Amino acid sequence: MSEEKPKQVTRILSESGSPLMVLESIGREGNKMAIVGRLIGAWPSKMYVELPDVWNMVKLMLNWQVISYVLSMPFLALKRGKKTED
């Protein structure tokens, strides 16, 4: 009997911590990026992003705040792990 691998999802949260969007998969369909997920944590959705908007997403992410966050992720993970041990 094969064990199913747990599905990896990414949650985008509001300030209160409730899910606004749950991303289940990102892939390609033709010339568009396809995103499968749930809006407000409930409504299943398949969304498409066209090429100019993909470029805009990349440009939005290429700034010092995002880059420094990505570089600090190992330290944030260690810090988070220490909190759960206490």
Model confidence over 12-66: pLDDT tens digits?
A: 999 999 999 999 999 999 999 999 999 987 899 999 999 999 999 999 999 999 9
Q: What is the pTM of this model?
A: 0.70
Beta strands in the chain (DSSP E): 10-13, 19-29, 32-39, 43-49
CA-to-CA distance for 1 and 23, rounded, in angstroms? 28
pLDDT value of position 23: 93
Q: Are 62 and 54 in contact (CB under 8 A)?
A: no
Give the pLDDT confidence score for residue 81 in this predicted structure: 79
Torsion of CA 66, 9, 46, 30, to 10 degrees: 70
pLDDT band at 84 (very low <50, low <70, confident <90, very high): low
CA nearest 24: which of 40, 38, 12? 38
